[in-house]
Amino acid sequence: MTLARRLFRTKPTQRIVAEGGHGVGGELRRTMSLWQLTLFSVGATLGTGIFVILGQAVPKAGPAVVLAFVLAAITALFSALSYAELAGTIPVSGSSYSYAYATMGELVAWVCGWCLMLEYAVSVAAVAVGWGEYLNAFLRSLFGFTLPAAITRSPGQDGGVVNVAAIVIVLLATWLLLYGASESATANAVFVLIKVAVLLFFCVVAFTAFRTGNMAPFAPMGVAGITAAASQVFFSYIGFDAASTAGEEARNPRRDLPRAIILSLAIVTGIYVLVAVAAVGAMPWTEFGPRSTEASLSYIADLAMGATWPGLIVSFGAVIAIASVVLTVIFGQTRILFAMSRDGLVPRVFQRVNPRRQVPVANTLIVAAFISVLAGLVPLGQLAEATSIGTLFAFAIVNIGVLVLRYRSPRLPRSFRVPLFPATPVLGAIFCVIVMAGLAGVTWLAFGLWMLVGLICYFLYGYGHSRLNAEVT
């Protein structure tokens, strides 16, 4: 078999599904219901954009940041529909990595998995970086003191040395994940309900200070500003695909995964738009600045009421929200590595399952260590945009994968089919490219270097250890 045929050899969907759940030393446990899967995706998504990125996106688009959230949501919707079809067809832990393996071959699957490492691991670190700001806002309102900047900010950020607060939240989430998938899902459900209640509280408070004059001019930076802001706030939709990483721990994956993905995106989009309207209506967009934007919602709540207690509640919600995101996204990262390890593309240690807890313990600890280093030493802004481009690339592959699998295996059982095929996946891929085009040149450079490192890793390890390649005589 030629090198090209080896690199683009696909793995049969039936085989991918048959291998699901199996690891070294044990199997993953199927415990998650539709409700838990939906809240899992909501937990991974809700909080990242509103609590952390909103304050940075408003200066780019003005009040039209609301349209930026809608544009990003539309981009995500097309991809979500494609995810829903493939998740119902190939219900395993690998998410878009496994979908790419079944449709476009091993090399594309590796590239997709490498992008998912950027999406999941780096997005957790980016969110964790903002946790210290909200923790300080909460402590300031409640006790009148804050933690030192040296341990709550990254190097180069106003006195930051090591973001110890970010490392702490990563370690706490890891501790909970080691107890088991069911316990983690239950804790996440509680976290999600709390942060939804807090965001609705913020909207009620902010609308009391709503001024129509704050909405004009609506789009001071024009279409370019909206597109640029959409590229940044797309980061806030990362996570709706988290349910697809739990394919081997869902009770009824073929039925529930597509529903969970679409339901979670609908819930998150409604809340994002409502909060964005409330925020820019309560405070002139020109007052949103690059400094201390991580705690912008707390500041707006205090400003609206002329008191500190509303900001205290919002800060508490953010502390819970970010903890939920960290918990669910680390889970997703470990399950993707679990699937890649089962295929031989990463070391076997990532598929070892603890027979008592039925979770990949070593995998979880390694991922937590890597994320802790990123969270403690890399500033937020650089992380967020790098995550967006990796995610968009993976989403584009999923959209193309739907096209390929429909034409190549039209009779394959599917529990969900994207509407208006083939327009939906085609538009999904196009929207991903449009949003990617709005990212800065330095982000593209970082992405190119990341891809180069990924290809080196594949040819040094993955290609030689691939189980699929090992079967070729």
Q: For 16-20, which contacts have Cβ atoms below 8 Å and span 24 or more sequence positions?
A: 16/90, 16/92, 16/94, 16/98, 16/101, 16/102, 17/90, 17/91, 17/92, 19/92, 19/342, 20/91, 20/92, 20/93, 20/247, 20/248
Containing 394, the helix (H) or strand (E) segment is helix 380-408
Q: pLDDT category, 292, cuts 50, 70, 90?
A: very low
124-162 pLDDT, tens digit per residue, is 887 787 787 778 878 887 888 888 888 887 777 777 788
Q: Rounded CA gap, 442 and 425, in Å?
A: 28
Write down the pLDDT at residue 235.
72
- Model confidence at 473: pLDDT above 60: no
Q: What are phi and psi of 411, to 5 degrees?
A: -95, 5
Question: How many C-beta atoms surround the C-beta of residue 321 within 10 A?
Answer: 29
Among 406, 242, 253, 204, CA closest to 324: 242
Average pLDDT of the chain, as a whole number = 85
85-134 pLDDT, tens digit per residue, is 999 999 888 888 999 999 999 999 999 999 888 777 777 887 787 787 77
Q: pLDDT category, 233, cuts 50, 70, 90?
A: confident
- Model confidence at 384: pLDDT above 70: no
- Model confidence at 401: pLDDT above 90: yes
Write down the pLDDT at residue 382.
57
Write down the pLDDT at residue 3.
81
Q: What are phi and psi of 250, to 5 degrees?
A: -90, 145
Containing 456, the helix (H) or strand (E) segment is helix 441-457
- Model confidence at 317: pLDDT above 70: yes
Mean pLDDT across the stretch 49-74? 83
248-265 pLDDT, tens digit per residue, is 888 898 999 999 999 999
Q: Which token pair is 194?
A: 């709390």
Q: Rounded CA gap, 35 and 31, in Å?
A: 11
Q: Rounded CA gap, 294 and 285, in Å?
A: 15
Residue 403 contacts residue 134 (beta carbons within 8 Å) = no
Q: pLDDT category, 25, cuts 50, 70, 90?
A: low
Q: Rounded CA gap, 63 and 59, in Å?
A: 9
CATH of domain 3-470: 1.20.1740.10
Q: Rounded CA gap, 280 and 276, in Å?
A: 6
Predicted model pTM: 0.86
For residues 227 and 203, the model is more confident at 203
User: 87-122 burial, b if ≥16 CB within 10 A, otherwise e?
Assistant: bbbbbbbbbbbbbbbbbbbbbbbbbbbbbbbbbbbb
Residue 412 contacts residue 89 (beta carbons within 8 Å) = yes
